[in-house]
Amino acid sequence: MTLPTRAGLDAVPAYRQGRSAPAGASKVSSNESPHPPLPSVVEAVQQRLATIHRYPDMSAAALRERLAERYGVEPAAVTVGAGSVEIASQLIHAVAGEGDEVMFAWRSFEAYPSLVRIAGATPVAVPLNAEHAHDLDAMLAAITPRTRLIFVCNPNNPTGTVVGAAELEAFVAAVPRDVLVVIDEAYVHFDRTGSHGAGVELFHRYPHVAVLHTFSKAYGLAGLRIGYALSPLAVADSQRKVAVPFGVTDLAQVGALASLDAEDELAVRIDEVVAHRDRLCALLVDAGWPAVTSQANFVWVPAGDRTDELESLLNEGGVITRVFAGEGIRISSGSMEDIDRVQSALQAETALQEARA
């Protein structure tokens, strides 16, 4: 006899982690930082290892107070979770349930539709426009009386496109006040446009905006799993009710605080990642691939029917990427060695084509 499982979970695909890379290959499939953790962060975490037999501060009070001071908000407006994906889940569970709708652009962060279905709500995916960016007019038109939450991933994952600050504010202003707009800024540190940080400004001016950030990308703490949100107070209170108790470890909290102390060092690393991203995009365009200009720490190549072809030539060159079958490939901005390896793979393909001509 087979034990019954919850109805509806068949429609929820398991989240796919970026492929691991064999020895000697470049893993640019998970948007991780190519840099090892800062020595000061490692030291701070190591100093707390002797107390891991104790539960962490479930409220993450020290970190929340630090972030509240940074952004000029009440500590009660700051919520934490095990990475931005858990924060996104909290936000969905806080405002939506069975019969409700949660909207997002598509393609966007791969976890959105699964998280919505797990919460019992209905995902509403609005196609990106021809420039691989959010179609905000179409999203406004898709709002119904059942819409409870709208995600705007900015910069968008996996395309790297950005909604400009003025355009984003016009959208937020047009959304009904009983619909929560979540501006997911997981990649905001890599944005070199004028929209950088627009989400926080809108949070201060509009009562139906939440902003989501993570320590996994620019801060390089992907393995510790910690993210946070700035949310309207009522929403933040509900988030704490649906959060996994003790979901953010003491080591993660300490690592996050130490990272905030080391932002000058991290800024140098972020600039390096941005430079490698721009070089990566230029290499792909020069090789004839339709790479999209990115403001994140990756480059999207909407290769369509040629996706398998691009995957094969990169794999043969020792480059492991994130593949979306029949749509395209996302390549994370890795180390200089990683980008060199991409360049070699593309050059090998170009040389082969010239030999065949």
Count other Cβ atoms within 10 Å, centred on residue 279. 17
Count other Cβ atoms within 10 Å, centred on residue 5. 8
* pLDDT (tens digit per residue) in 161-211: 999 999 999 999 999 999 999 999 999 999 999 888 799 999 999 999 999
User: What DSSP designation does 292 have?
Assistant: B
Q: Give backbone dihedrals phi and psi of 133, rounded to 5 degrees, phi first.
A: -120, 170
pLDDT at 9 over 90: no
Give the pLDDT score at 7: 78
Q: Which two tokens stand for residue 55?
A: 């539960």
Instruction: List, as one string, the DSSP characters of 322-338.
Output: EEETTTEEEEE---HHH
Burial of 237 (0-12, 13-18, 19+ CB in 10 A): middle
Residue 8: band (very low, low, confident or very high) from pLDDT cuts 50, 70, 90 = confident
Name the percent of the chain lying above pLDDT 70: 96
Mean pLDDT of the chain: 95
Q: Comparing C-alpha atoms, which of 215, 210, 262, 268 is closest to residue 239?
A: 210
Give the pLDDT score at 307: 98
Residue 234: band (very low, low, confident or very high) from pLDDT cuts 50, 70, 90 = very high
Give the pLDDT score at 62: 98
pLDDT at 356 over 70: no
Q: Residue 242 to residues 22, 61, 65, 87, 90: CA-CA distances in angstroms?
A: 39, 18, 21, 10, 6
pLDDT at 22 over 60: yes
pLDDT at 355 over 60: no
Helix, strand, or coil (residue 329): strand
Structural domains of the chain ordered from first start: 20-36+264-350 (3.90.1150.10), 39-261 (3.40.640.10)
Q: Comparing C-alpha atoms, which of 186, 254, 214 is closest to residue 79?
A: 214
- Yes or no: say if 347 and 339 are a contact pair by the CB < 8 Å rule: no
pLDDT at 357 over 70: no
